[in-house]
Amino acid sequence: MVKVAILGATGYTAVELIKILLRNPDVQITAATTRQEGAPPIHSIHQSLTGRLNLTCEDLTPAEVCQRAEFVFCCLPHVASMEAVPGLLAGGARVVDLSADYRLKDPVAYEKWYGHAHTDAQRLAATVYGLPELWAERIPHQNLIANPGCYTSASILGLAPFLKQGWIDPTGIIIDAKSGVSGAGRAPKLNTLFSECNESVSAYSVGNKHRHLPEIEQVLSEASGQKVEAIFTPHLIPMDRGIIATIYARLKRSATDAELLAAAREFYRDKPFMRVVEHLPTTKDSAGTNYCDITVRQARGQAIIISCLDNLIKGAAGVAVQNFNLMAGFPETTGLLV
Amino acid sequence: MVKVAILGATGYTAVELIKILLRNPDVQITAATTRQEGAPPIHSIHQSLTGRLNLTCEDLTPAEVCQRAEFVFCCLPHVASMEAVPGLLAGGARVVDLSADYRLKDPVAYEKWYGHAHTDAQRLAATVYGLPELWAERIPHQNLIANPGCYTSASILGLAPFLKQGWIDPTGIIIDAKSGVSGAGRAPKLNTLFSECNESVSAYSVGNKHRHLPEIEQVLSEASGQKVEAIFTPHLIPMDRGIIATIYARLKRSATDAELLAAAREFYRDKPFMRVVEHLPTTKDSAGTNYCDITVRQARGQAIIISCLDNLIKGAAGVAVQNFNLMAGFPETTGLLV
Amino acid sequence: MVKVAILGATGYTAVELIKILLRNPDVQITAATTRQEGAPPIHSIHQSLTGRLNLTCEDLTPAEVCQRAEFVFCCLPHVASMEAVPGLLAGGARVVDLSADYRLKDPVAYEKWYGHAHTDAQRLAATVYGLPELWAERIPHQNLIANPGCYTSASILGLAPFLKQGWIDPTGIIIDAKSGVSGAGRAPKLNTLFSECNESVSAYSVGNKHRHLPEIEQVLSEASGQKVEAIFTPHLIPMDRGIIATIYARLKRSATDAELLAAAREFYRDKPFMRVVEHLPTTKDSAGTNYCDITVRQARGQAIIISCLDNLIKGAAGVAVQNFNLMAGFPETTGLLV
Amino acid sequence: MVKVAILGATGYTAVELIKILLRNPDVQITAATTRQEGAPPIHSIHQSLTGRLNLTCEDLTPAEVCQRAEFVFCCLPHVASMEAVPGLLAGGARVVDLSADYRLKDPVAYEKWYGHAHTDAQRLAATVYGLPELWAERIPHQNLIANPGCYTSASILGLAPFLKQGWIDPTGIIIDAKSGVSGAGRAPKLNTLFSECNESVSAYSVGNKHRHLPEIEQVLSEASGQKVEAIFTPHLIPMDRGIIATIYARLKRSATDAELLAAAREFYRDKPFMRVVEHLPTTKDSAGTNYCDITVRQARGQAIIISCLDNLIKGAAGVAVQNFNLMAGFPETTGLLV
């Protein structure tokens, strides 16, 4: 029985994690943390867990967490995460960090994009970025995995085949992404009120101001061995979950739709969660699953790549469990094919 | 030119009020208040007003408001409203109060339901309840009108014809009401986040715990001259606006659908905003309008009354302007038939 | 390996069935039928099944289906179902019929409510109604199970504890039910277009005109040994899935909320999919699951019962698999606790 | 009193047209056509019009329409429109055609994109494209106006200032557009069912296959005097109405956000429906209005232009009334500022 803890159990990612982990009979969730007082039972925070998990949420220190669990999913916000992770690792826990704190390799970039000096900067360079479709072999023996962002995964998984195989120009890429509202988290804010975002679409962070951009460029640059530059525009869509990234990239040579699809299929051969499809995927096709659906068309010298995934699952909790499965020695798909 | 002010200009009711008032060329909006610092322009609070109204929102005292306006729409929350209204009236303003503070006649009931002693209790008995379909003749000469609640209007307008004409039993009434989320206001709260209430329906205040119940019973008892008792269950629906009240009441004598419809039609003859319809109305039919749509069917000795209206308009800002129109001497429908 | 077939594979219930059955490694889906020409692969009808099930949909006769499968889930519309079932049974298949064709015991009632003479009427009386929470012991040895309707299950499961234990009056019951749009099926119709039902609520079949009413009354009358009479009003809610039934019933004796909750808890002790909760459940709590969430409050001599379930799962495909599990000898919860 | 008729009164554009025209006391709607039998009253087709317009929908010939009306709004689908327009013009009516039939100048392009030979091809070259923000002076004396498409207007109004003033490269433009579902019309189809498109986003016509592309390029090429080439990808968004076009275009010279905003403001000076805004507009800001909201940011040598409008109003019925107002001699904003 593998004992796991969840730090920051009140958010949308945490409840998805719990539901996935409950499907693995060899895993036991032994701790869930919150700063809320009174040790509330988990089902009072997430009513959907009623009858499914008997656990109270406590305000535990990293050391206390390590006494209960071998593996820790850290669902804290950025900054809070890098304050907790060193203690978790020191206490012997192996950590999947779902925050942004260990994703960027460069502490200067971290400070620029997140507005805080990194307090655990010496760990950044060696931390593995947990995108199993690119780097599964790096993950099993790690003690700390930086779990990818949701927009990031959708963008990277759409672009990687074409960048690595040299079909497209690494600069001038346009990523126009659309996400359901759960990606904005569960803290009450005006702009995520139902009456504000229902029946409305809006772009935000327009002009390359979104924090997922440096992450996308860093990973794709490393993966393809060339400097990748993009313009990234996220949009808020009136739906709970799902991301579609519509990506425009200049083809370096003429190609048919069929050739591009074949290239993507070959690239993702044997990747259990990648579905390269001929039809145009909707976000609903992959909602509630760990799949990422990809297709591609060409027009006027551009590849138009469509990449869809569930932001809470393949974009967060699902890939976190993929990483955990690889680290803990479970089959990669455990709990994730339902 | 009639000068009007809006107290509490940041909410959803206020922006609807403004849009309606802008249609009356003889009205000028001269003040809008907020506690936000910095005198923000109204269009920074409500982007939809960009280019439509050049006004800053200020933190004004009642006395300052009275220097700018003859009429005041008070969109403050309860308690805040009864703190402002006496000063407004003392300053010579005529007030439509959209809060609940002057709706209940009995200060004991007020304190029970709202958890605060009423600080302006001597004014309660004489304040006119502003539902023009029942009491239009009372409104023109008032200086203070208590504007009805949204669930209240839907419920009262559905029941009034049948109670006043003696078709139904005044007790044992079931009001099962469903409202769009805007009725819950614009203050960020967990339960009105998009990701909480989208794709979900829930009942709340179950067991006669909602504050609109005493208001419904008070008004219907007065209107029909008998003690009316109901069970009232509100539900939150994943849509921006609209209320449907599905009402069950025991028929005192056997009646056909046609007889019941005819009775309602006769009751609302010449009421410009009441549409008694044979078809089953949807909330969308009246969304964005000041109409209230009503129909009725009978089964097993019960009348099943359907009443639909837009909670922000006929349930708040629209009826407020009806009241204002009557007070200021404009035709009742001014700005309201679009 | 148990071989199963799905008749009428193009609808929303069928895709849910498939997803549930895929979780049982001892089940193989060997046939799926459609009248569409060209033997389309199942993933071209349900894109979400891409990569999950390699099967073509064919236009098969009952006899052909019986050559491929021991168990058949019949997701055909009413009338079509009673044309297929006799052949399936004759061919040796065991059938869970998700249509309404075998739910009512009385062929006269069937003809009245469905507008067709029943062509397999002699089978009605003996067919078991497949609601395992009431009659699990009847199900295992059957060859034909009538799977309950979605509104029906929500209503019955809410009322059964209180009717069987004598807390409430069996007549004068009001069931005000609200359903997501998927309950209306996948055939293109004006009133289920997005632009018609989004941002709108409407009642339909008002005045006891909905076909689930006789089913509710028949089952509850049998279960409680008394004639049960209700008024049933369904509403269409702008969400994909989920039903909430708000039920009003006169208490025969005074009771506290706690007593009523305890009675329901006792009634559903050891029922794995029934969650009797103190909080007010939302439809989202049980969406995507086979749970039914129930709570109760009292006011003015009435019990107000709230019952929530996912119309496609606990209201259709999930309970169908519960029935199948009992028939095939699998644990009742197989595939249903995720 | 100006008499107007509406051909094809059953769709979403027609009901918006009617609501706008009802605000002009000098206009009388004298005819509305449908192929439905039985001369249904307009409020049975559009329940929201109950009590607002007393008119039956009839199956009238163009000649019959001309006997009743001086102006005709043709809301028929393409092909049906070009069959009706010659007769309307011959009968003396002045026509605003909301279909696509008279938008493209080149009958070869029409046939390529619409799959039908144009049967009134000689009229194409001289027909004025009714986008008043570009060509108001051309409209007043016309007898036939081709009303723009919804995506087209959003795209053109966003790009025109920057193309005409030479800020951006006329080729390599990316238009990533997102529309509410009402844009797909009111005919029941699988892909516009609530349960299909709710909680989902999808791209369609990917790879420059959408019919609004040639219209966009034709108009922008003419307006800017250079060959404009774009990639256009539309997306279906789970909301009733609203379009946001996110447009990427290479800047020909370096520019700040402020310079680009100032250029757009100058371009649209005195255009009553154009709001050039500094903030990021949402589609909700302009929903239900005839406004088009535009802003712009730059990043990495690209201008990122955001253009929002209501697809049924500024994208269809509203601009149609703008054109009608100019043709009939009413102020351009009549009925459109509410």
**CB nearest to A195's CB, from B181, B190, B199:** B181
Q: Is residue D226 situated within a structural domain?
A: yes
Angle (CA) A162 A165 A171, round 5°: 55
The domain boundary, picked from B77, B93, B126, lies at B126
**Confidence grade of residue A30 (pLDDT, cut at 50, 70, 90):** very high
pLDDT at residue B338, as a whole number? 86
What is the rounded distance in angstroms from the CA atom of residue B130 to the CA atom of residue B323? 6
Flag whether pLDDT at A338 surpasses 90: no
Give helix then strand counts, H and E, for chain B: 12, 14
Q: Is residue B229 situated within a structural domain?
A: yes
Give strand pairing partners of C309: C243, C292
Q: Is residue B323 situated within a structural domain?
A: no
Flag whether pLDDT at A298 surpasses 90: yes
Q: Is residue D252 situated within a structural domain?
A: yes
Task: Report the chain D residue with the minimal C-alpha distance to residue A204.
Answer: D280
Pair D159, D280 in one domain: yes
Can you tell me the mean pLDDT for A321-326?
98
| CB-based contact A181 B190, cutoff 8 Å | no
Residues in D lying within 8 Å of A, measured between beta carbons = 174, 176, 178, 180, 196, 198-204, 206-208, 229, 231, 233, 235, 237-242, 244, 246, 248, 257, 280-284, 287, 297-300, 302, 304, 306
Q: Is residue C68 situated within a structural domain?
A: yes
Flag whether pLDDT at A182 surpasses 90: yes
Q: Residue A331 has what DSSP assignment?
A: -
What is the rounded distance in angstroms from the CA atom of residue C261 to the CA atom of residue C259? 5
Indicate which of D195, D199, D241, D300 best probes the interface with A, i.e. most A CBs within 10 Å of its own CB.
D199
| CB-based contact A239 B198, cutoff 8 Å | yes
Single-letter amino acid, residue D87: G
Three-state helix/strand/coil letters over chain C: CEEEEEECCCCHHHHHHHHHHCCCCCEEEEEEECCCCCCCEHHHHCHHHCCCCCCEEECCCHHHHHHHCCEEEECCCCCHHHHHHHHHHHCCCEEEECCCCCCCCCHHHHHHHHCCCCCCHHHCCCCEECCHHHHHHHCCCCCEEECCCHHHHHHHHHHHHHHHCCCECCCCEEEEEEECHHHHCCCCCHHHEHHHHCCCCEECCCCCCCCHHHHHHHHHHHHHCCCCCEEEEEEECCCCCCEEEEEEEEECCCCCHHHHHHHHHHHCCCCCCEEECCCCCEHHHHCCCCCEEEEEEEECCEEEEEEEECCCHHHHHHHHHHHHHHHHCCCCCCCCCC
Flag whether pLDDT at A245 surpasses 90: yes
In the set C66, C74, C75, C150, the catalytic residue is C150
Each residue's pLDDT tens digit in chain B (338 positions)?
999 999 999 999 999 999 999 999 999 999 999 999 899 999 999 999 999 999 999 999 999 999 999 999 999 999 999 999 999 999 999 999 999 999 999 999 999 999 999 999 999 999 999 999 999 999 999 999 999 999 999 999 999 999 999 999 999 999 999 999 999 999 999 999 999 999 999 999 999 999 999 999 999 999 999 999 999 999 999 999 999 999 999 999 999 999 999 999 999 999 999 999 999 999 999 999 999 999 999 999 999 999 999 999 999 999 999 999 999 999 999 999 98
pLDDT at residue C86, as a whole number? 98
**CB nearest to B202's CB, from C198, C248, C280:** C280
| CB-based contact D300 A246, cutoff 8 Å | no
pLDDT at residue D98, as a whole number? 98
Radius of gyration of the CA atoms of chain B, in A: 19
Give strand pairing partners of A6: A32, A73
Number of domains in chain A: 2
What is the rounded distance in angstroms from the CA atom of residue C94 to the CA atom of residue C99? 15
pLDDT at residue A243, as a whole number? 98
pLDDT at residue A280, as a whole number? 98
Pair D297, D228 in one domain: yes
Give strand pairing partners of C29: C4
Beta strands in chain B (DSSP E): 2-7, 27-33, 57-58, 71-74, 94-97, 128-129, 144-146, 173-179, 202-203, 230-236, 243-250, 274-276, 292-299, 302-309
Pair A239, A90 in one domain: no
Pair D110, D178 in one domain: no
| CB-based contact D338 B275, cutoff 8 Å | no
Nearest C-alpha of chain D: how many angstroms from C33?
A: 19
pLDDT in tens, A138-156: 999 999 999 999 999 999 9
pLDDT in tens, D216-225: 999 999 999 9
Neighbors of chain C by Cβ distance (3+ pairs < 8 Å):
A, B, D
Task: Report the chain B residue with the minimal C-alpha distance to residue A197.
Answer: B194
Contacts of D200 in chain A (CB under 8 A): 239, 242, 282-284, 287
Pair D156, D287 in one domain: yes
**% chain C with pLDDT above 70:** 100
Nearest C-alpha of chain A: how many angstroms from D229?
A: 9
Query: What would the two tokens of residue C266 be?
Result: 């006792």
Q: Is residue A323 situated within a structural domain?
A: no
pLDDT in tens, C240-270: 999 999 999 999 999 999 999 999 999 999 9
Pair D57, D174 in one domain: no
Can you tell me the mean pLDDT for C284-293?
98
**CB nearest to A200's CB, from D239, D248, D302:** D239
Pair A73, A198 in one domain: no
Give strand pairing partners of B177: B234, B245
At how many degrees (to 10) do helices D212-224 and D150-164 cross?
A: 30
pLDDT at residue B109, as a whole number? 98
Beta strands in chain A (DSSP E): 2-7, 27-33, 57-58, 71-74, 94-97, 128-129, 144-146, 173-179, 202-203, 230-236, 243-250, 274-276, 292-299, 302-309
Contacts of B195 in chain A (CB under 8 A): 12, 180-182, 184, 186, 192, 240
Contacts of B229 in chain C (CB under 8 A): 300
Flag whether pLDDT at C289 surpasses 90: yes
Can you tell me the mean pLDDT for A158-181?
98
Contacts of D277 in chain B (CB under 8 A): 47, 50
**Confidence grade of residue C271 (pLDDT, cut at 50, 70, 90):** very high
Pair B97, B162 in one domain: no
pLDDT at residue A167, as a whole number? 98
Contacts of B338 in chain D (CB under 8 A): 19, 23, 338
CATH number (domain holding residue B108): 3.40.50.720
In the set D74, D75, D150, D292, the catalytic residue is D150
Pair B68, B202 in one domain: no
| CB-based contact C300 B239, cutoff 8 Å | no
Neighbors of chain D by Cβ distance (3+ pairs < 8 Å):
A, B, C
Q: Which has the closest alpha carbon to D15: D37, D35, D45, D41?
A: D45
- Flag whether the ipTM exceeds 0.90: yes
**Confidence grade of residue D74 (pLDDT, cut at 50, 70, 90):** very high
Task: Report the chain B residue with the minimal C-alpha distance to residue D272.
Answer: B51
DSSP-based three-state secondary structure for D93? coil
pLDDT at residue D338, as a whole number? 86
Pair B295, B156 in one domain: yes
What is the rounded distance in angstroms from the CA atom of residue D129 to the CA atom of residue D184? 22
Judged by phi (left if over 0) then psi (alpha if -120 to 50, else beta), residue C58 lies in beta
Cα B242–chain centre separation? 12
**CB nearest to D282's CB, from B47, B275, B279:** B47
The domain boundary, picked from A126, A161, A184, lies at A126
Q: Is C150 one of the catalytic residues?
A: yes
DSSP-based three-state secondary structure for A93? coil
pLDDT at residue C338, as a whole number? 86
Pair B98, B219 in one domain: no
CATH number (domain holding residue B256): 3.30.360.10
What is the rounded distance in angstroms from the CA atom of residue B296 to the CA atom of residue B285? 16
**CB nearest to C193's CB, from D180, D186, D199:** D186
Strands C202-203 and C230-236: antiparallel
Task: Report the chain C residue with the minimal C-alpha distance to residue D241.
Answer: C195
Neighbors of chain A by Cβ distance (3+ pairs < 8 Å):
B, C, D
CA distances from D59 to D32, D37, D52, D64, D302 (A): 8, 8, 22, 10, 52
What is the rounded distance in angstroms from the CA atom of residue C297 to the CA atom of residue C303? 6
Residues in C lying within 8 Å of D, measured between beta carbons = 12, 180-182, 184, 186, 188-190, 192-199, 238-240
CA distances from B124 to B76, B101, B145, C14 (A): 18, 9, 11, 60
Task: Report the chain A residue with the minimal C-alpha distance to residue C16.
Answer: A338
pLDDT in tens, C147-168: 999 999 999 999 999 999 999 9
Q: What are phi and psi of A244, to 5 degrees?
A: -125, 125
Could you list the residue range(s) of the whole structural domain that residue B236 is in? Answer: 151-311
For CA atoms A263, A266, A268, A273, the dihedral sign is positive
pLDDT at residue D279, as a whole number? 98
Can you tell me the mean pLDDT for C283-300?
98
What is the rounded distance in angstroms from the CA atom of residue C248 to the CA atom of residue C229? 12
Burial class of residue D122 (count of CB atoms within 10 Å of its CB; 0-12, 13-18, 19+) = exposed
At how many degrees (to 10) do helices A257-267 and A150-164 cross?
A: 110
Residues in D lying within 8 Å of B, measured between beta carbons = 19, 23, 44, 47-48, 50-52, 199, 275, 277, 279, 281-282, 284-286, 288-289, 291, 293, 337-338
Beta strands in B70-172 (DSSP E): 71-74, 94-97, 128-129, 144-146
Q: Is residue D164 situated within a structural domain?
A: yes
Pair B8, B100 in one domain: yes
Angle (CA) C177 C180 C184, round 5°: 95
pLDDT in tens, D261-316: 999 999 999 999 999 999 999 999 999 999 999 999 999 999 999 999 999 999 99
| CB-based contact D48 B284, cutoff 8 Å | yes
